[in-house]
Amino acid sequence: GAGVSQSPRYKVAKRGQDVALRCDPISGHVSLFWYQQALGQGPEFLTYFQNEAQLDKSGLPSDRFFAERPEGSVSTLKIQRTQQEDSAVYLCASRRGWLAGVRGTDTQYFGPGTRLTVL
Amino acid sequence: GQQVMQIPQYQHVQEGEDFTTYCNSSTTLSNIQWYKQRPGGHPVFLIQLVKSGEVKKQKRLTFQFGEAKKNSSLHITATQTTDVGTYFCGSGNTGKLIFGQGTTLQVKP
């Protein structure tokens, strides 16, 4: 596709409900990232996939958060038993390559985000 | 872990005035990336700096990476209303980016 797409754009959940957020990266992009952005803050890293492999999930705040990318393209971020503190914008980003280092890293292209509100 | 601090948090300027945001780290950064996020939008990549002392320009925007690779700045000359938004710096070695808190720029016409 032309860019990273995410769905739904807005989600309202009652506390305790499970939610699933979808990310469609740019076609052919190897790397996929999930970030959480609270109001007035910068994006905070949640997890990173290289193809279907989840290489880093150090940013997931609790075991209620789970992400997958089974076929190396579309990814889903699932939040179980949502809490009010989970309210945020969840951003997905994809990157063409997977190597990074002293020469820098490929551009990350962000999707529009899913705004999650937990009541 | 690595932290990136960004100041100021907010800046209001009159159209035509200059604007600068600063990004600082206590550790050496392998690279620094700058993003712009319009109100209600998502971060959009502006530029990446990797070399010590590097300076890059994009029209009215000037980006600098410090000699010690611990700080960076974004300077906008003669701001326009289209410059409104939040500017984030970010850095990362393994691909994941650690972002600063962002500087929100308001421009009065």
- Dist CA B92 CA A12 (whole Å): 32
pLDDT at A83: 97
Q: Which CATH superfamily is domain B26-108 in?
A: Immunoglobulins (2.60.40.10)
pLDDT computed for residue A110 by the predictor: 94
- B94–chain A nearest CA distance, Å: 6
Q: How many CB atoms lie within 10 A of CB B42?
A: 22
A positions 39-58 inside 8 Å of B (CB): 40-45, 48, 56
- The string of pLDDT tens digits covering residues B16-72 is 999 999 999 999 998 899 999 999 899 999 999 999 999 999 999 999 999 999 999
Q: What are the tokens at B90?
A: 């970010």
What's the confidence (pLDDT) of residue A101?
A: 46
Q: Which of A61, A52, A66 is nearest to A20 (CA)?
A: A66
Instruction: For residues B92 and B87, give the distance between their C-alpha atoms in angstroms, rounded to a whole number.
Output: 17
Question: Who contacts A24 (Cβ-Cβ below 8 Å, separation ≥6)?
Answer: A1, A4, A5, A6, A7, A73, A74, A111
Q: Report the C-alpha gap between A21 and A10 in whole angstroms.
A: 10
The residue among A5, A54, A105 with the most chain B CBs within 10 A of its CB, best to mutate, is: A105
pLDDT value at residue B9: 95
Q: Which residues of chain B does A40 touch, with a Cβ-Cβ cutoff of 8 Å?
A: 101-102
Domain ranges (residues) in chain B: 26-108
Please report, in angstroms and rounded to a whole number, the separation of the first and last CA atoms in chain A.
34
The tens-digit pLDDT sequence of chain A (119 residues) is 589 999 999 999 999 999 999 999 999 899 999 999 998 899 999 999 999 999 999 999 999 999 999 999 999 999 999 999 999 999 999 988 765 544 556 788 999 999 999 99
Q: A95 and A31 in contact (C-beta within 8 Å)?
A: yes
What pLDDT, on the 0 to 100 scale, is given for residue A108?
Answer: 87
Q: Which domains does chain A carry? A: 5-118 (2.60.40.10)
Look at the alpha carbons of B4, B10, B13, B16 in this order and tell me if their dihedral is positive or negative.
positive
Write out chain B residues lying below 8 Å of A41, CB-based. 101-102
Is residue A113 within 8 Å of A89, Cβ to Cβ?
Answer: yes
What b/e sequence results for A35-50 when a residue is b if at least 16 CB atoms lie within 10 Å of its CB, and e otherwise? bbbeeebbbbbbbbbb
Give the pLDDT of residue B103: 97
Instruction: Please report, rounded to a whole number, the percentage of residues in chain B having pLDDT higher than 90.
Output: 87
**Mean pLDDT taken over chain B:** 94
